[in-house]
Structure 1
Amino acid sequence: MTAAIRTVLGDIPPEELGVCDAHDHLFISSPALPGQELDDAAAALTELNAFAALGGRAVVQWTPWGMGPRTEELPALSRQSGVHVISATGMHQGRHYDPGELERVRGTLADLFIRELTSAPVKAGMIKVAGAHHHLDAHARHVMAAAAEAHHATGAPIGVHLEAGSAALDVIDLLCGTHGVPPHRVILGHLSRFPDTGIHRRAAEAGVFLAFDGPSRAHHATDWRLLDSLAALADAGHAHQVLLGADTVTRSARSSADGPGMPFLLSGLRPRIERELGPDFASAMFTENPARAFAVRWRQP
């Protein structure tokens, strides 16, 4: 069985992925964030085109089920921009959902995730889950158990929203320890929001992928620590496990609205990474590592 990356236009070999924004959003909505929806397809295409103009070739949308991923619109955006798009199934923190909706699907989450990964008209290529701040609440544990079941049925990678970058080791213990998910199938997101290089190193030693993202989030004020965190991982021999994404989650963060957006990864961060950490490390972060993180020997349950 050959490994493939599942995009919204179908499965592709890993070597076709190209330069990748490994964590972002083209569409997203939540009752917890009124008025901050990303729901404009034309604006999403503008962002993809700007990313492609700088050499970007792939974007991973981490918007899970129930948060307005508008999955049916992603194939057209991918075709029009020439950018591969990977979409997500999964579930975020409970606060992002109507309580009645949560109760309706609570007992069938694994089946829902498996269906979106294997038989939906536009298939997802990953599972998104989320922790709470410095701990895993009951909702997170329930969703992660379902995600692990879906992983074992399909092989899909699991991307984890770490609230403020915290609880990384708790997630590894639960997914990889309790539920037996291979570490290389887990991607920990938002580590730049918790710039503790000791925690990063311990997570990397466990074998997971580490995603640094969010230059769009000015209020987190951790961009200035990013290169230090990346250098520490490279020095410890973990350069092959690091991913980078823009995590654009508000309209004002998009490049078309004078924010950094997706293009900043390539116009701002990549030159600095190449200069300070070397072109080989930059190539690993943007191309080789995401190709391995999202490539799966897919199983059909």
Structure 2
Amino acid sequence: MNAVRTVLGDIPPEELGICDAHDHLFLRTPALPGQELDDAAAALVEVQRFAALGGQSIVQWTPHGMGRQWDRLVEISRATGVHIVAATGLHQARHYGSLDDIWDRLAEVFIAELSWAGMIKVSGDFHGLDDHARHTMTAAAQAHRVTGAPIGVHLEGGTGGLAVLDLLCGRLEVPPHRVILGHLNRSPDLGMHRDLARSGAFLAFDGPSQANHGTDWRLFDCLAGLIEAGHVEQLLIGGDTTTAAARSRPGMSYLVRELQPSTTAAQCDLGVGS
């Protein structure tokens, strides 16, 4: 798939423009009771604010069974002109009740949903992979082979990236450039980041957030180190808003209002350009 599949149809990658590469407009999980992102009016306002500051695209990583509200994503994209990429896939087991109805046909479910979704979201475990992760990644690889859709991976605490690459890109033969490794800011280990980057995979740094603020201050060190090592084209930045409270503190507009200018300045300081 050379095009990017948005909720309104396929577009060339260059039309993404300024892109929030990992976020959530809608999200519901038993792991965060009472903190659901399910207010369509609030989501619309958030996207309008993002667009007013120059934001052009949002990749929503909310996967199957977690309240994606595809119809609302379509409405918001039409109302704002912002491209929205939706996801299929599965998160960790703790975000679901029973999966018995789809567990043995995950690849089939993912493939069907990729008629309107633009990526497959899966999840690793802390410093490794459990049986749930291996099963969902196997199904994701099968769906990728049929559709060409990229696979975005939640790395728990920013860990386990090498194990993910060993499975997805090694045994399951997914091309590394079709894999996005998320949450790397949560484990600011530059040596590990460089090892992951050398594979050819994309590296996603998301936040800042109240939940993971302890590592926010290392973000620019991590980005600068990867830029110096020649991996600027593999870097993605997103907001990863997962609760209603996070929508305003700091919200996805922070990416364009403060983080994007700071990142551009850092690249210029390194002689890379904007």
Q: Distance in 2 between matches of 1:50 and 1:221?
A: 27
Change (3 A) 1:108 1:211: same
**TM-superposition CA deviations, 1:243-267 (whole Å, max 9, x none):** 0000011111113xxx111100011
2:216 maps to which of 223, 239, 244? 223
Please give the secondary structure, in 1, of the residue aligned with 2:101: helix
Aligned to 1:286: none
Name the counterpart of 2:104.
107
Distance in 2, matches of 1:86 and 1:165, equals 23
One-letter code of the match for 1:116?
A: E
2:251 aligns to what SS in structure 1? Answer: coil
Aligned to 2:230, what secondary structure does the other structure show? coil
Q: Indicate if the aligned counterparts of 2:186 and 2:212 stay in contact, CA closer than 8 A.
A: no
Counterpart code for 2:110:
F
1:276 to 263, 266, 273: 266
Q: Is the 8 A contact 1:273 1:282 kept in 2?
A: no
The structure whose RCO (Cα within 8 Å, separation 6+) is larger is: 1
- CA apart distance, 1:220: 3.9
For 1:40, give the aligned amino acid: D
Gaps of at least 5 residues in structure 2 are: none
Q: What are the superposed Cα offsets for residues 259-291 of structure 1, whole Å, 9 maximum, x if unpaired?
A: 1111000111112112222298685xxxxxxxx
RMSD: 1.4
Aligned residue identity for 2:58: V
Alignment partner of 2:226 out of 233, 247, 250: 233
TM-score, length-normalised on structure 2?
A: 0.97
1:124 maps to 2:121? no
In the alignment, the residues of structure 1 paired with residue 52 and residue 268 of structure 2 have an alpha-carbon distance, to the nearest angstrom, of: 23
> Is the aligned partner of 1:199 residue 2:199?
no
2:56 matched to which residue of 1?
A: 57
**Correspondences of 1:1-301 after superposition (within 5 Å):** 3-98=2-97, 100=98, 102-118=99-115, 123-255=116-248, 259-278=249-268, 283=274
- 5+ residue gaps, structure 1, are 284-301
User: Distance between the aligned counterparts of 1:220 and 1:90, measured in 2?
Assistant: 27
Deviation digits for residues 186-244 of structure 1, max 9, x if unmatched? Answer: 00000000000011000000110000002124444111000000011011111110000
Query: 180-189 or 217-226, which moves further after superposition?
Result: 217-226
Q: Given the two structures, how large is their TM-score scaled by the length of structure 1?
A: 0.88
For residues 2-25 of structure 1, give each alpha carbon's deviation from its aligned partner in whole angstroms, at most 9, with x where no partner exists.
821100000111221111000000
Q: Distance in 2 between matches of 1:187 and 1:146?
A: 16
Distance 1:244 1:276 in 2: 14
The number of residue pairs the alignment matches comes to 273
CA contact (8 A) 1:274 1:281 kept: no
